[in-house]
Chains A and B, each alone.
Chain A
């Protein structure tokens, strides 16, 4: 159950990027979650509800896109996705398969409200 530490990192990274742009609040956080990670989506969503409290992301929506696992055989070049049963030997030549996608947790972008400068009242 390390989703809470991951959720805190997500909020920290989002806040740092929002501050750099002088944003007032974060509306949306877009995350790409690899299928071959140890993160459970529902647990992460729940942890995010806690982690975002009292931050610029207090009212932000977390949008998670799942990145499917993609494997490639270095010997015969076979690329497979989705991967079923996670058998990581090539079905054609029997050699080990390399995982080329689906292992990362990437924060793609954030949507923010920037400071409104009041030129006239």
Chain B
């Protein structure tokens, strides 16, 4: 019997592929957002609202990850935005290699913002870096305020946390406040926006913030709004 020291991170292959993606995004000055949430929190509705708000200001492309169907990509294409659907089959998350394969068929050099809508899942996508510059986690008030406590890794790693469906919260605002507190406990650094994609409440603050994040990444590509 012989012992061989290995000392290797098990997710190394993904991290190496993510680094390659990140370098090519940086070469293009492209902001890439990895959008994650549980199923039904409103990722595609958020994208629709964000695309409409940024129309004419920057060029957006979308990569959609789902186990099956291209229904989400169709919703995005209906808005005149280029979308690419990845069907993962039975895989519960996107990984960096799936993104680099998609990018071979999906030109991104003319984009200002690439949004990758991950598979609806608050667990596995947290462990797979795709090479993104911005990690956005969406959580709806209607899911109950305890989600950040139950899925701390996902919430901890986010740069931005969006609390959606605030129109469905208690009239007293109690559940939204509790959700905000739980978000802060696991992630005191994240930028937090409370929004409703249905009523439009809070969306301006989010889209203005996003527009400036795109501008920082690629100052010369923004046209006057």
| Complex contact B11–A108 (CB within 8 A) | no
**Chain B proximity mask over A79-121: 1 for CB below 8 Å, otherwise 0:** 0000001111100000111010000111111111110000000
User: Interface of chain A, helix or strand or loop or mixed?
Assistant: mixed
Please report the C-alpha to C-alpha distance between residue A36 and residue B1 in the assembled complex, in whole angstroms: 33
What band does the interface of chain A fall in when counting residues whose beta carbon is under 8 Å from B? 35 or more
| Complex contact A111–B1 (CB within 8 A) | yes
* Pair count A-B, CB < 8 A: 100
| Complex contact A88–B188 (CB within 8 A) | yes
Number of interface residues of B (CB under 8 A): 33
Residue from A86, A107, A113 in contact with B8 in the complex, judged by beta carbons closer than 8 Å = A107
Q: Given A105-B9, A106-B7, A109-B6, A96–B189 Cβ distance below 8 Å?
A: yes
| Complex contact B124–A37 (CB within 8 A) | no
B133 at the interface (CB under 8 A from A): no
| Complex contact B124–A17 (CB within 8 A) | no
Please report the C-alpha to C-alpha distance between residue A85 and residue B153 in the assembled complex, in whole angstroms: 13
**Chain B hits for A104, CB < 8 A:** 9
**Chain B hits for A23, CB < 8 A:** 2, 4
Interface stretch, picked from B60-68, B179-187, B210-218, is B179-187
B222 at the interface (CB under 8 A from A): no
B10 at the interface (CB under 8 A from A): yes
B92 at the interface (CB under 8 A from A): yes
**Chain B hits for A95, CB < 8 A:** 188
B149 at the interface (CB under 8 A from A): yes
**Chain B hits for A97, CB < 8 A:** 188
Please report the C-alpha to C-alpha distance between residue A43 and residue B200 in the assembled complex, in whole angstroms: 41
| Complex contact A107–B124 (CB within 8 A) | no
Query: Nearest-CB distance from A38 to chain B (Å)?
Result: 5
| Complex contact A31–B2 (CB within 8 A) | no
Please, which residue of chain B has its CB at the minimum distance from the CB of A1? B92
| Complex contact A2–B6 (CB within 8 A) | no
Query: Nearest-CB distance from B29 to chain A (Å)?
Result: 29
Q: Given A86-B149, A88-B156, A88-B188, A2–B124 Cβ distance below 8 Å?
A: yes
Please report the C-alpha to C-alpha distance between residue A21 and residue B110 in the assembled complex, in whole angstroms: 48
| Complex contact B10–A106 (CB within 8 A) | yes
A70 at the interface (CB under 8 A from B): no
Please report the C-alpha to C-alpha distance between residue A13 and residue B47 in the assembled complex, in whole angstroms: 38
**Chain A hits for B189, CB < 8 A:** 96
Query: Nearest-CB distance from B12 to chain A (Å)?
Result: 8
Q: Given A86-B186, A88-B186, A111–B2 Cβ distance below 8 Å?
A: yes
